[in-house]
Structure 1
Amino acid sequence: MTIEISVRGLVEFILRSGSLDNRIQASPADAMQEGSRIHRMIQKSMGADYHAEVPLKYVYSTDKYDLVISGRADGILDKYFGETDVYDGQENFIEGKKANPLIDEIKGTYRDLKKMQDPVPTHLAQAKCYGAIYARETGCPEINIRMSYCNIETEEMKYFDYNFSAKEIISWFDDLIGRYKKWADFECDWQDIRTASIKAVQFPFPYRDGQKDLAAGVYRTIIHGKKLFLEAPTGTGKTITTVFPSVKAMGEGKITKLFYLTAKTITRTVAEEAFNTLRQFQDLKMKTVTITARDKICFLGEEERNCNPEACPYANGHYDRINDAIYDMLTHEDSFDREKILEYAQKHKVCPFEMSLDMSLWADAVVCDYNYVFDPFVYLRRFFAEGTKGDYVFLVDETHNLLDRGRDMYSAVLRKESFLELKNSIKEFHPSIAGHLDKCNKAMLEMKRECDDCRILTSIDKLINPLNRLSGIISEYLENHSEGPGRDEILEFYFDLSRFLTIYDKVDDHYVMYSEFADDGSFLVRLSCIDPSRNLAECMDRGRASILFSATLLPIQYYKKLLGGTDEDFEIYAKSIFDPNKLGLFIGTDVSSRYSMRSDEQYFRIAEYINNVISTRGGNYLIFFPSHQFLDEVHEAFIDNFYDETSTEILVQKSFMSEEARESFLDRFSIGNNVDLNEVIHMDIEVVEDKNILGFCVMGGIFSEGIDLKYDSLIGVIVVGPGIPMVCNEREIIRAYFDDKGVDGYDYAYRYPGMNKVLQAAGRVIRTEEDTGVVALLDDRFMQGSYRSLFPREWKNYKVVSTNTVKNAVSQFWSEI
């Protein structure tokens, strides 16, 4: 068995110490690119005998496994005569002075080098590891270590030179390996246990119709190292059907880690349940971790969170205790879910969020948000650092969400007014920064004068140059000052600035740059990623295979194209296992949600539709609207004309709802409505006590997907309109972009996203084979061919109704059932 770890990973894991401290500025997002430039510049200046990017590897062998420690030394000089001599690249020979090899470790920084007294300990340790490996390989009696720091802005250099005997540095390295050995021993033993259990695992349920073929398709995709775009309607068991073959592939050594990626917290619970099912019923031995957002898992709470040792006792000395916490949890638990992370973090007094990230190193499967794989500012660098590739499989749940999320993750915006606000706030304390802020503001003012509502930009070089200079001076200030007046404001601004500059380096023909005025009158410059396919594909290329699945992935070629698929990748449309006769589908053609047709008469007729549908059978219903404004109008019409408080309880989705309020809303949709109203009466929802439950909601919102209301907890959904997004600059730019590419821009900007919301909302009704329910689609546009072509296969038997006929049609459906 082979266990691999990088030199950097070894050093940073074993030798870390001290406290978490967000006041110490980490390297900015663009530092990696700038650091690479610095590396190349220094390496080229060192002459012909200087070997750059030298791969080094050491294999530590035991009876059970080989521990492979590897990395790349930034530079090696085979002969170096000492720090007093100037090396000019020639074969200098100094009589009586012995030449030893030199290991050069280069680091780019924004820090003031004059204030650096010593190198960063982990940087020096990394160089010493390379030195020990090189000394072993060459048998040299001594070796020189140099830390070369270069200021990224000024290109000023500072060196720290050390000399070690081979015996001394090899002994130090062996001690470091000895400290890691218990972790390697555990990994070796655990892999044996895990692999043996996986071989015995069987699918935990009787296969439903077509489910075995789906699992086989997932397995084949992993073996071939491709992507699979899978439309799997509700009931196909898509979670267990994707997890199971991935686990089997891990048991056969095809993959080393599984990432289950979700867009919403509730979907993560479903993934956890799938792994727990395999543990419980199949005795699977697999360690899984769920990564919860920092704000949601912080002991201090979102409002009080401040990650520094003075504000947080869990940050104070975190690194001194974290490895003991990890080993404790690793040897006692298999499921590192939110509750367990909190339990062990509390026990060892460490940060729970940072602990969850560390546990991901030791977990076989990681359940997390899309961000941790795809977001260029949040992704897990411990797995996906630049240029690295692993035997990972990505299971991307609710894939339809990845398109808009991908656009957001790879886009950036700057607000002109932010420059002025920060300048006025800090000019007294930081006149130099304020001066550079003023230059950027003037550049944006010039762009503002040229903009009338919205303007496509072909070049923003006049803005980028002062932004780069501002970024450099702020970076230097943050690196050298952990405290100071206005520092928090500067840091928050710097994040936005750094994001913009990083995204600017990604801008290509998949982007549109434009300026516009916000609703509040502020001036914005946007870098908009219209087609995120290239960026997403690059992320998925860091693993072996990707399985992208959703209950609504129509048209599949649209998603395949924009989510980074190729002609060689696979696609499957799974057949629904549900009896189509248990779903009553009705299309109301005498109403419309078109903006131009909205009126009190339309609101009344839609309210009448709702009343006619729910009056056929008492129970729980969700009604979805295209916007909160439309919802409010119909809600008012329903209250005024049809509402009976003795038989109906109405819940209204608010624009902003706490997690507690959301849960209370959904609790009312319980089987038999057995929920105590006293539990929700003070929540941010409207409640009127009695039997029928009507939830007025917004399409694409928190209640339109990811919720699982089974049996009679929901018997009907009414969808008002085809979900078309509001016309705005962003949507019109998307439309024009794809028109220019030779496809129907309206489909890409409006129709496809809208219909996905409709399908998601309608999908709330039938969740199990025992479920029965109705879906009413209210808008004449649903009868147009362009919309009906997007209906799933199961929607063939729809009935066209009107306000006058819908009640009888729905009643007939229920009577036949």
Structure 2
Amino acid sequence: MQEQTEKQNIKISVRNLVEFILRSGDIDNRKSRVMQAEAMQEGSRVHRKIQRRMGASYHAEVPLKIEIPRENYQFVIEGRADGIIKEELITIDEIKGIYMDLSYLEGPVTVHLAQAKCYAYMYAQKERFAPDVQMGVQMTYCNLDTEEIRRFVSHYTVQELADWFLGIVAEYEKWADFQYQWRCKRQASIQKLEFPFDYREGQRELASDVYRTIYRKKNLFIQAPTGTGKTMSTIYPSVRAVGEGLAEKIFYLTAKSITATVALDAFRILGGKGYQAKTVLITAKEKMCVCEEMDCNPQNCPYAEGHFDRVNDAVFELLQKEEIFTREIFLEQAHRHRVCPFELCLDTASWADNIICDYNYVFDPNVYLRRFFAEGTKEEYLFLVDEAHNLVERARSMYSAVLVKEDFLAVKKLVKPYSKKVAAELEKCNKILLAYKRECEDYQICENISNFAFALMRFGAAADTFLQKSTEFPGKKEFLDLYLKVRHFLNMYERLDEHYVIYTQFLENHSFMIKLFCVDPALNLQECLDKGRSTVFFSATLLPIQYYKKLLSTKEDNYAIYAKTAFSKEQSCLLIGDGVSSKYTRRNRMEFQNIAKYIQKIVSAKNGNYMVFFPSYRFLEQVYEEFFPMMGEQTDCIVQTTGMKEEEREEFLGEFEKERKHSLVGFCVMGGIFGEGIDLKEELLIGAIVVGTGLPQVGQEREILRQYFETHSGEGFDYAYRYPGMNKVLQAAGRVIRTKEDRGVIALLDERFLQWEYRRLFPREWEEYTVCSHESVSNVLKNFWGGQK
């Protein structure tokens, strides 16, 4: 008996088991798109409504688990039955909320019925029913728009359920065996794993803090200056925690592909030290697609036809061959087995120990990885959120929703020849938006839009019926785009609470929009964080940390630390320019000349590469026009332009690697593609000049944020303007000192940086600074550069 309890558990949910084993056929967005537009929140609401209507014999949300012993491990299958009807005939009820006209359902969907049959067998085992006992299995389908219900009931003996269920388990057994064997290898490799480098100052303490956070099942916010080695300092203790059995999977979440590459390199380094783990880098679907146009059906993509018949074999073969899985590996395997590379990537991730992916795959309600997070249960996942300062605005975008009036009119014209019913519903939506438009001068806060939401639901129901009948028609792409936007809008409408503001506004092109604006995303993010064990948020610019703690989580007991810098004070010279400002009231030619003169003095103090960051492209151009004649041929200049492509960006950065006689000055925009995430080490960049405090442009949304946080915390201006602005400043300044060998100047050109409200947001490394003028800046820099070894 003791031996039995020490066996490893190989766990899988009922839903994942049946979807994995029973899937077959094609990927076909023409048939499945409507069915898959599943609203988890809306679905949960309908579940509760149906369950409340049932009588006293109906028992809702019954957790079920079955343990199947194997020679080396215990196979654990678990889930939650939507309902068990305890009458003379015990019946399992499985509820599915779908966007579909239920009259088109000829019978239950195979995988849905399979879920219910699993629960029936698991309940029979729990209650020790005899093999000849009859059980009912009921599929309850509910249209999420109309709340119409349709039920399918079937009956099975316990013996029939057992034969079927154990057949499913037998098919899964080779996967469970693989999981067990690989886990043994992984755990053994972690036991001997050491930190791969000599610890930098403060790095050992940082790694210990991360491990302690995981051990205590808490969340941690880390302000980690550049050079602290935060990637390895978070990954290594997380891997050790997995080795101690505290966690099962690591999700490394990034905002940009360059930081994903750094994380992948860290896992590779640990692999070189003996760590054995499966690590998947998830690349965006559009970058994985092998077709000219991303249209996932057998007619347009040869890889879509029969994909589900072949993909499991492709995954299993790949798992035997590789430990690090990248885009190139998935494309090669997809070509070999003729399967969709993106779906292959997601399926492989199910078996991975480490998943490196964009924030979207955990937090976005439209994109998140349902195979990990759809069950609503808490798992032993670790979330490492890199460059976490980006998550605030990203989350606001994920949980907000926009609809534009003109889209309804355009789609109505396209669909009218094919469905008068759908066109009529679109017209009703348009009329309500027209009424909102007449009430709106520039923008308008809306208190109640229930009439519009109801009209959208009616359109959704009509669209579902139409899409079931019509697979192809001219303008289908535009129709589906609007349909999915409406679905997202309704899903976010279900989330509406005091953290949202609804408003209408005229756009620059004179079109009219309505927006559900998620002002404070903390509650929505916390729902996602609760699906894991611990989360570590880290960034070089997570200041003030209380701002990020409030907007990224609702927990009151989150930890926060300030990691020690590995750099010395002598490596940098921090200047604050006096008598200069980027305020709108001061923007005139004299002030542009004033700023240009500061730049000229700074870049003339030592030949090298510099970046100058501005609050806007217009401001950049105005100062550049004054600066260029000052320097003439003494300086080489390059200028960031709007909408630069990948090649142009690489060409821009490539200029910093060339040898040249004169200084190079790159004119850039704060918060843009060169404002963070680039790594120009040593002599490649010796100065960053930041013009202005980075305050976001005044606009309706910024003012909504200001008013909201003024009401809730009395910090409206800080939350809407000052904190986001200073983050851009810190990011831009952070481009200079990247290694212990770097040496450079950081110049803040705005006298507002001398105000306490801004100085209190300076990182600890900025405690020493020099206030300078046009007259003194050259001497200050002469002393700094003269002291260079």
TM-score, structure 1 as length reference: 0.91
Give the Å deviation of 1:154.
4.6
Give the Å deviation of 1:777.
1.1
Output the CA distance in 1 between the equivalents of 2:689 and 2:382. Answer: 38
Call closer, same or farther: CA 1:51–1:552 in 2, change over 3 Å: closer
Question: In the alignment, which residue of structure 2 is the partner of 1:256?
Answer: 248
2:561 to 555, 567, 572: 572
> Relative to structure 2, which stretch is displaced further, 452-461 or 371-380?
452-461
Question: In the alignment, which residue of structure 2 is the partner of 1:269?
Answer: 261
1:64 to 61, 66, 72: 72
1:779-790 superposed matches below 5 A? 779-790=750-761
> Relative to structure 2, which stretch is displaced further, 742-751 or 197-206?
742-751
Give the Å deviation of 1:749.
1.0
Is the counterpart of residue 738 in structure 1 residue 709 in structure 2?
A: yes
1:11-160 superposed matches below 5 A? 11-24=18-31, 25-27=33-35, 29=37, 31-40=39-48, 42-43=50-51, 47-77=55-85, 101-136=90-125, 137-141=128-132, 142-160=134-152
Question: In the alignment, which residue of structure 2 is the partner of 1:284?
Answer: 275
Output the CA distance in 1 between the equivalents of 2:220 and 2:554. Answer: 8
Question: In the alignment, which residue of structure 2 is the partner of 1:706?
Answer: 677
1:166-181 superposed matches below 5 A? 166-181=158-173
Contact 2:101–2:461 (CA under 8 A) maintained in structure 1: no
Q: Work out the number of aligned pairs and report it.
A: 777
Give the Å deviation of 1:163.
4.1
Contact 1:415–1:522 (CA under 8 A) maintained in structure 2: yes
The superposition leaves residues 400-453 of structure 1 with CA deviations (integer Å, 9 ceiling, x where unpaired) of 111111111111122122222222222222211111111111111111222221
Amino acid at match of 1:294: K
Output the CA distance in 1 between the equivalents of 2:252 and 2:520. Answer: 24
Give the Å deviation of 1:285.
0.6
2:288 to 292, 297, 316: 297
Contact 1:410–1:529 (CA under 8 A) maintained in structure 2: yes
Give the Å deviation of 1:298.
1.4
Output the CA distance in 2 between the equivalents of 1:666 and 1:470. Answer: 49
Output the CA distance in 2 between the equivalents of 1:651 and 1:553. Answer: 30
Contact 2:38–2:99 (CA under 8 A) maintained in structure 1: no
Give the Å deviation of 1:56.
3.1
Question: In the alignment, which residue of structure 2 is the partner of 1:92?
Answer: none
Give the Å deviation of 1:568.
1.5
Three-state SS of the structure 2 residue aligned to 1:440 is helix
Three-state SS of the structure 2 residue aligned to 1:539 is helix
Structure number with the higher helix fraction is 2
Is the counterpart of residue 3 in structure 1 residue 10 in structure 2?
A: yes
Give the Å deviation of 1:311.
0.8
1:414 to 397, 400, 403: 403
Amino acid at match of 2:629: D
Give the Å deviation of 1:366.
0.8
Question: In the alignment, which residue of structure 2 is the partner of 1:378?
Answer: 367
Give the Å deviation of 1:741.
1.7
Output the CA distance in 2 between the equivalents of 1:187 and 1:694. Answer: 54
Is the counterpart of residue 446 in structure 1 residue 435 in structure 2?
A: yes
Give the Å deviation of 1:344.
1.8
> Relative to structure 2, which stretch is displaced further, 69-78 or 615-624?
69-78
Three-state SS of the structure 2 residue aligned to 1:741 is helix
Call closer, same or farther: CA 1:135–1:228 in 2, change over 3 Å: closer
1:222 to 211, 214, 217: 214
Give the Å deviation of 1:220.
0.8
Output the CA distance in 1 between the equivalents of 2:740 and 2:340. Answer: 44
The superposition leaves residues 54-95 of structure 1 with CA deviations (integer Å, 9 ceiling, x where unpaired) of 433322211101111122333445566xxxxxxxxxxxxxxx
TM-score, structure 2 as length reference: 0.94
Output the CA distance in 2 between the equivalents of 1:154 and 1:732. Answer: 38
Give the Å deviation of 1:124.
2.4
Question: In the alignment, which residue of structure 2 is the partner of 1:640?
Answer: 629
> Relative to structure 2, which stretch is displaced further, 184-193 or 605-614?
605-614
Give the Å deviation of 1:122.
1.5
Three-state SS of the structure 1 residue aligned to 2:29 is coil
Question: In the alignment, which residue of structure 1 is the partner of 2:718?
Answer: 747
Amino acid at match of 1:251: G
Question: In the alignment, which residue of structure 2 is the partner of 1:437?
Answer: 426
Give the Å deviation of 1:149.
3.3
Contact 2:446–2:504 (CA under 8 A) maintained in structure 1: yes
Question: In the alignment, which residue of structure 2 is the partner of 1:96?
Answer: none
Contact 2:385–2:538 (CA under 8 A) maintained in structure 1: yes
Question: In the alignment, which residue of structure 1 is the partner of 2:237?
Answer: 245
Question: In the alignment, which residue of structure 1 is the partner of 2:700?
Answer: 729
Give the Å deviation of 1:275.
0.6
Output the CA distance in 2 between the equivalents of 1:42 and 1:723. Answer: 52
> Relative to structure 2, which stretch is displaced further, 37-46 or 466-475?
37-46
Give the Å deviation of 1:46.
5.4
Question: In the alignment, which residue of structure 2 is the partner of 1:472?
Answer: 461
1:637-676 superposed matches below 5 A? 637-644=626-633, 648-670=635-657, 673=658
Give the Å deviation of 1:16.
0.9
Output the CA distance in 2 between the equivalents of 1:75 and 1:742. Answer: 44
Three-state SS of the structure 1 residue aligned to 2:252 is strand
Call closer, same or farther: CA 1:743–1:40 in 2, change over 3 Å: closer
Amino acid at match of 2:748: L
Give the Å deviation of 1:201.
0.5
Output the CA distance in 1 between the equivalents of 2:99 and 2:733. Answer: 53
Question: In the alignment, which residue of structure 1 is the partner of 2:3?
Answer: none
Three-state SS of the structure 1 residue aligned to 2:71 is coil
Three-state SS of the structure 2 residue aligned to 1:624 is strand
Three-state SS of the structure 2 residue aligned to 1:643 is helix
Call closer, same or farther: CA 1:582–1:464 in 2, change over 3 Å: same
Output the CA distance in 2 between the equivalents of 1:159 and 1:519. Answer: 50
Output the CA distance in 1 between the equivalents of 2:694 and 2:148. Answer: 57
Amino acid at match of 2:502: M
Contact 2:429–2:452 (CA under 8 A) maintained in structure 1: yes
Question: In the alignment, which residue of structure 2 is the partner of 1:503?
Answer: 492
> Relative to structure 2, which stretch is displaced further, 19-28 or 537-546?
19-28
Contact 1:289–1:365 (CA under 8 A) maintained in structure 2: yes
Contact 1:512–1:530 (CA under 8 A) maintained in structure 2: yes
Question: In the alignment, which residue of structure 1 is the partner of 2:202?
Answer: 210
Output the CA distance in 1 between the equivalents of 2:527 and 2:717. Answer: 27
Amino acid at match of 1:608: K
The superposition leaves residues 15-46 of structure 1 with CA deviations (integer Å, 9 ceiling, x where unpaired) of 11111122222446564344445545555555
Call closer, same or farther: CA 1:691–1:640 in 2, change over 3 Å: closer
Q: CA RMSD in A?
A: 2.1
Output the CA distance in 2 between the equivalents of 1:611 and 1:456. Answer: 47
Give the Å deviation of 1:168.
3.6
Call closer, same or farther: CA 1:539–1:102 in 2, change over 3 Å: closer
> Relative to structure 2, which stretch is displaced further, 7-16 or 344-353?
344-353
Call closer, same or farther: CA 1:574–1:22 in 2, change over 3 Å: same
In structure 2, runs of 5+ residues without a counterpart are 1-7
Output the CA distance in 2 between the equivalents of 1:44 and 1:784. Answer: 59
Give the Å deviation of 1:197.
0.7
> Relative to structure 2, which stretch is displaced further, 129-138 or 630-639?
129-138
Contact 1:30–1:501 (CA under 8 A) maintained in structure 2: no
Question: In the alignment, which residue of structure 2 is the partner of 1:323?
Answer: 312
Call closer, same or farther: CA 1:243–1:776 in 2, change over 3 Å: same
Output the CA distance in 2 between the equivalents of 1:161 and 1:509. Answer: 42
Output the CA distance in 2 between the equivalents of 1:45 and 1:775. Answer: 66
Is the counterpart of residue 358 in structure 1 residue 344 in structure 2?
A: no
Question: In the alignment, which residue of structure 2 is the partner of 1:93?
Answer: none
Call closer, same or farther: CA 1:51–1:591 in 2, change over 3 Å: closer
Output the CA distance in 1 between the equivalents of 2:505 and 2:142. Answer: 39
> Relative to structure 2, which stretch is displaced further, 796-805 or 20-29?
20-29
Output the CA distance in 2 between the equivalents of 1:79 and 1:116. Answer: 27
Output the CA distance in 2 between the equivalents of 1:376 and 1:74. Answer: 22
Output the CA distance in 2 between the equivalents of 1:40 and 1:606. Answer: 62
Output the CA distance in 1 between the equivalents of 2:684 and 2:324. Answer: 30
Amino acid at match of 1:785: W
Output the CA distance in 2 between the equivalents of 1:344 and 1:690. Answer: 49
Output the CA distance in 2 between the equivalents of 1:659 and 1:750. Answer: 30
The superposition leaves residues 87-121 of structure 1 with CA deviations (integer Å, 9 ceiling, x where unpaired) of xxxxxxxxxxxxx6444433333333333333322
The superposition leaves residues 252-300 of structure 1 with CA deviations (integer Å, 9 ceiling, x where unpaired) of 11011111111111110111111111111x2101111111111122122
Give the Å deviation of 1:127.
2.6
Q: Percent identity between the aligned chains?
A: 53
Contact 1:474–1:490 (CA under 8 A) maintained in structure 2: no
